[in-house]
Chains A and B, each alone.
Chain A
């Protein structure tokens, strides 16, 4: 008997396909083209970073991958299927700071996606504990967000994104509000978590150093209309180390991105 998969090849879990996507914002005075003809393939388990100046539509593209916004034209598929609305089983989203609910404890925040689906309390708690352990916050579950540092809050956000074990994790400038040292530490932490879970990660940032340091691939975008202007493979070995930041390979990649951004700024 022929396995069904041989007849209709299924896209593996965690693959992201963006095909000729455009986004037009209609305002009362004019139509603004936010994204134009964006195509992109992300293979399962890859760490892809989107960079570009403000207004290049990188966050918009991420929101469309999350099903939080619909494109005007083109198609986006996650694990082989379109994403007309948010689907926490396929995609976890980590937002910029201040996205935790201040009235819930860390573990209740992590449990939130499970609570929405009516998962039993004990099951929920156990899974939240696992997720908190994964992000290095074992024992901090009972604290409220105001009792946690900025870096710890973002760890909780990551745990919340991972608690339903989706194959894809989308991150919208998650470390933008952190200070430089915390940011570096969180980058290493994120790479450790990524290596441990094997998720597909799409990460949006303003920081060129962060982009090169974290990524397998860097997608560089230009503003108005948002387009992909370069797609770099970062072949630096893993695990990434602080020493690589001052190396020639790192520098030339960062310079290449900077030249694109300077041109469009």
Chain B
């Protein structure tokens, strides 16, 4: 996506304006500062929190859970998606069922994960995996379908082996769609893990955010929100940057 300097400036202006409104609402007392601490106080609190060993530990715990769940869900989901898409019969049978599964809000299964896995690492990873895998499967089937028949015929006419076809045609054809899938999967994965932490946990940043909320520690709560938002946006933008670099592959 091309965007001129003016568009970028407008975006920055909107973000700055939001923070400014936030600051003014709180400073002038239009909104009770106990309910909405000012933006500057929140950012200062965020700085303090990041210095604290306990918060860093919580972040590390959450990061480990997120990465583990992601590292399991993406290859497993991609493999299932690939097998489904490669077989006409499986695809016909499984696709509507996947749509059914995908449409169910995953959060209602959280109590079951606690019953099965207890409260801890496995429960978070399990729920993160469960939240992510359906979107990975569905995106992979889309990615496989994005491979052009013409390209497969070319490979065949020049004597490509199945391995060569997989690595030289399927993989590069699918890459743009897969990157997009990766990005969207991570949103589901983060949501899953943090939700699981907020619901029942002893550690993790989601648990901290829930605790701050319950204890009415608004500064910490808002600082936590800003922190998670920045991390999520950073990952998303990183993948998007890679995506734009190979966007012309689609044409």
Contact = CB atoms under 8 A, between A and B. Distances in A.
B172 A101 contact: yes
Contacts of A96: 150
A116 B169 contact: no
B164 interface: yes
B153 A102 contact: no
Interface stretch (B35-43, B134-142, B154-162): B154-162
B87 to A, nearest CB: 18
B151 interface: yes
A103 B246 contact: yes
Given A86-B156, A88-B159, A144 B248 contact: yes
Contact of B157 (A93, A98, A144): A93
A54 interface: no
Interface residues of B, number: 23
Contacts, number: 57
A86 B248 contact: no
Interface residues of A, number: 22
A99 interface: yes
A86 B159 contact: yes
A102 B249 contact: yes
Interface in B12-58: none
A66 B157 contact: yes
B148 interface: yes
B251 interface: yes
Nearest to A117: B159
B178 to A, nearest CB: 13
A54 to B, nearest CB: 18
Given A99-B151, A101-B151, A88 B249 contact: no
B150 A99 contact: yes
B158 A146 contact: no
A68 B157 contact: yes
Nearest to B154: A99
A116 B172 contact: no
Contacts of A86: 156-159
A88 B251 contact: no
B150 A102 contact: no
A263 B155 CA distance: 38
Nearest to B158: A113
Contact of A103 (B153, B160, B249): B249
B164 A98 contact: no
Nearest to A67: B157
Given A103-B249, A144-B248, A146-B251, A95 B159 contact: no
B158 A116 contact: yes
Interface string A78-113: 000000011110000101101101110000000011
Contact of A146 (B159, B169, B248): B248
A168 B59 CA distance: 64
A117 B175 CA distance: 24
Contacts of A103: 172-173, 175, 246, 249
Contacts of A113: 158-159
Contacts of A146: 248, 251
Contacts of A115: 168
Interface string B232-251: 00000000000000101111
Nearest to A68: B157
A4 B249 CA distance: 52
A98 B150 contact: yes
8 nearest A-B residue pairs (beta carbon): A113-B158, A103-B172, A93-B157, A146-B248, A103-B249, A86-B157, A99-B150, A88-B158
Given A88-B158, A112-B154, 6 more contacts: A95-B150, A101-B151, A103-B175, A113-B159, A116-B159, A144-B248
